[in-house]
Amino acid sequence: MDLLKGLVGDPAKIGEGLTSYGSDLKTSIGTEGDWDVVMVLPVTPSDEESKEEDVENANRKFFEATIEKLASAGLQYKSYYSIQGDEIYVKIRSPEDRLEGQADVRDVPMLMDPSKLEKALAAGFPELQIAPIDIGTDCDGQAVSRFAPSQHIYCKYDRHPSLLPLYSHPANATSPFRSMQRIKLVTDIIQTLHRFGGCEISVGKEINDGKMLAFMCLHDPIERTALYHKWMTYPWAAPVSQMPFDEYKDYFGEQAALYMASLGHATTYTAWLGALGLVATTIIQVIGFDSKPAAYCRAIFGVALFVWLAAYHDGWRKTEQTYALKWGMTEFEEEEPERPQYQGHIVKSPIDGKPAVYFLPKERAPAVAKGVLATLGMILLNLGFMLLMVVFKKQGHFTRTYSSMPATLANAIGIQVFTFVFKDIAVKLTEAENWRTETEFADKLTLKLFCFNFINAYGSLFFTVFVQSHVSPPDGFGSNWACLENNCLWDLLFNLYIIFAANLVVSAGVSFVLPILQIKFNEYNEGGMDEAMTKAEWEYMLVEYDETLDMIENYMIATVQYGYIALFSLAAPATAFIGFLSNMVTLRLNGYKYLTGFRRIEPRGAQDIGVFDSIYTFINFAAVLSNAAIFVFLPPLFTNAQGYGPSNRANIFMLIVAFFALGLILGQIIANDDEPDVALQVLRQDFIKSKIVDKIADEDEAITIDKKAPVFDITKKDDGPYFTHLAEVLGEVPEASLPAPAKAADLA
């Protein structure tokens, strides 16, 4: 059977299993709405040896404890055996009033209907001393913002009768909660603390301990199919910025949609740089790779690259702020819940005095130090591998016989191997540091991965730019130290294309080929596709998505690609065009694979791309150094034969670096300013919340003044005391308070 059909839903294949593992327990089976999430639990066969009976009993106890927690939290559930009988599926959903209660307790931000909100503002609340509100929209006949005052306004969910009618509803829906928000709330109920109405089931821990096989968010057939058609039929020639990112957010959540929006931004910006790079590459090949005109062509491309770096970063920050406003994420990090894996001491909160989990920073310090040392150790190991590859590539006899291609390929493959190995190490190190929120955890993990990947991905290329042509080879490290064809610019271009291509191939394999193989393997394990299975069983065969690690991996792939373009495309301008094509294809295929080959991504919020913003800033400044070095030291423009000695080239290099670094700093200053329309709308949102939700009465600003008639009389002299010296006005200074006169010995 077609996997796509299984996802969308075949009526003949969606019979519900009726066998309950705990038939003696009272099972609440809902009769309305769709199921939102599924727990998959293992079953230990009863005919195993006696030593396995304890495992079976433990599984049974965990199942019963889980059911009791779900029931006590007011959730609806249904449990049944899989077709093969080796798993227990527990489908979970929530009644509408339970969702409303959880949203109210957690103060979930909900979008307000613009037209209804506008009417409510115009009416005011006279009984609460809140006058009708008329928010200004123009200044001297010109609009002050591209947003209307009631547009993109999010207020916390509250079941007060005056607020319920104001929340925005999806088309043809009677509830403000679409499937994405239902999943968020149900997941929150399952994992959060009892004091927030939760079950306190740590899903991640139970999966790691083997008590739970999977926790899946179920695809919604109607919403999924609508998004699939919108995404996959979007014209290739249409502006990427207009792709249905909002609909993607409504299905997969803000975190997943923000990544796709950032990939769309990268595609848009690499389009024009890629076109310019393709033109520059063509011209260079026609006029001669080592000619002076080719060097001038690279210089023009270098200026365009610098403008691109600044525009890309500034443009994304403005775009990111706009999405945070449109998706209600402007205050997400301030209100982000704790990770279920976060451990600490139950104390009175040092902020508001309420019971809270607190972890002393000094208790984290040893784990952080261990993470730093391990990262440095892996970087040193990686540098040793790169040095070995340099020696391998520079062996004269081997190179003459087989060319440098084997060594270059070995280096490219080694980069990918080191990346995969260190990823697992970094995850364990960061888990041990016990960070409170997913954002903090992701940022710390990302920093470790980037510090390593920066050396791993770019180290050999930096060696060619800054070392190879300027330093004599150490004794015993090979006699053939020269660049390929005795041209370090050509050597850099050759290695860049090989490493960049290998990076794209491996990324494509990991992102698209491995999931297909994984699905086939899951089909084989589950008995193929010929059995009639429930919707949950179909989706269990799909590829699992790790909302933290896979998201970081996606961002890291995009960041490393950005680094190749930013740091070295002056030597190979066509790199930008290759990056553009890769982004165009990845953007479409990502949507396809997450909608058809992956379990539904658990919807999570995100305010921004986190520490990756600082990483892009770092790469931009590193790009100034690398591209200035490529331009000054590698092409034949500034040579000894033309009167440019080492000191002259160094001076030119520093001048170029100073000029463009200053430009980037000015760009950073401009980029750090908030997008004006977004900043204004956030202020409007805060004001509207104070009136619509908090019902803060208007202040009585009227002042009563006892008006008196003016007196125009002017007297000859003031009636106060008069003084003859300024000292009398200032008052006498006590002598004891004056500093002692300095002695000659002290002055000496």
DSSP 11: G
Domain count, the chain: 2
Range of the domain at 158: 94-192+215-227
Residues 377 and 463 in one domain: yes
303 assigned to some structural domain:
no
**Taking a C-beta distance cutoff of 8 angstroms, is the pair 183, 129 a contact?**
no
Q: Dig out the tokens for 488 from the structure.
A: 């370090």
Residues 376 and 495 in one domain: yes
CA distance 591 to 228: 8
Find, among 500, 481, 489, 493, the residue nearest to 415 by Cα.
500
Residues 349 and 399 in one domain: yes
Residues 518 and 596 in one domain: yes
Residues 275 and 175 in one domain: no
CA distance 164 to 314: 39
Residues 275 and 221 in one domain: no
Maximum CA pair distance of the chain?
Answer: 117
Look at the block and give the residue holding tokens 């888990």: 431
- H-only helix segments in 638-741: 646-671, 676-692, 726-730
637 assigned to some structural domain:
no
561 assigned to some structural domain:
yes
Boundary of a domain, candidates 177, 201, 227 = 227
Ranges of the chain whose pLDDT falls below 50:
1-32, 47-50, 398, 400-402, 477-480, 747-748
252 assigned to some structural domain:
yes
- pLDDT at position 392, please? 66
Q: How far is CA 192 from the centre of its chain?
A: 23
For helices 254-287 and 549-568, angle between their N-to-C axes, nearest 10 degrees: 20
Q: How far is CA 592 from the centre of its chain?
A: 20
551 assigned to some structural domain:
yes
Residues 263 and 387 in one domain: yes
3-state helix vs strand vs coil in the chain, percent to 5: 60, 5, 35
**Taking a C-beta distance cutoff of 8 angstroms, is the pair 110, 153 a contact?**
no
Boundary of a domain, candidates 552, 577, 612 = 612
> What is the three-class DSSP state of 542?
coil
Cα separation of the two ends of the chain = 99
- Predicted confidence (pLDDT) per residue in 536-589, tens digit: 988 998 999 998 889 998 999 999 999 999 999 998 899 999 999 999 999 998
Strand partners, 543: 598
Residues 181 and 271 in one domain: no
* Phi–psi pair at 139, nearest 5 degrees: -140, 110
* Phi–psi pair at 404, nearest 5 degrees: -90, 0
CA distance 205 to 29: 27
- pLDDT at position 562, please? 94
- Angle (CA) 708-712-718 rounded to 5° is 105
Q: Give 567's Cβ-side CA count (13 Å radius).
A: 26
**Taking a C-beta distance cutoff of 8 angstroms, is the pair 460, 384 a contact?**
no
559 assigned to some structural domain:
yes
Look at the block and give the residue holding tokens 């010296």: 725
528 assigned to some structural domain:
yes
Residues 183 and 245 in one domain: no
Q: Which amino acid is at 669?
A: I
CA distance 259 to 451: 21
Residues 220 and 238 in one domain: no
9 assigned to some structural domain:
no
Q: Collect all residues with Cβ–Cβ distance below 8 Å to 496 and sequence separation of at least 6.
A: 461, 564, 568, 571, 572, 575
Residues 403 and 439 in one domain: yes
- Predicted confidence (pLDDT) per residue in 217-271, tens digit: 999 999 999 999 999 999 998 999 999 999 999 999 999 999 999 999 999 999 9
Residues 131 and 274 in one domain: no
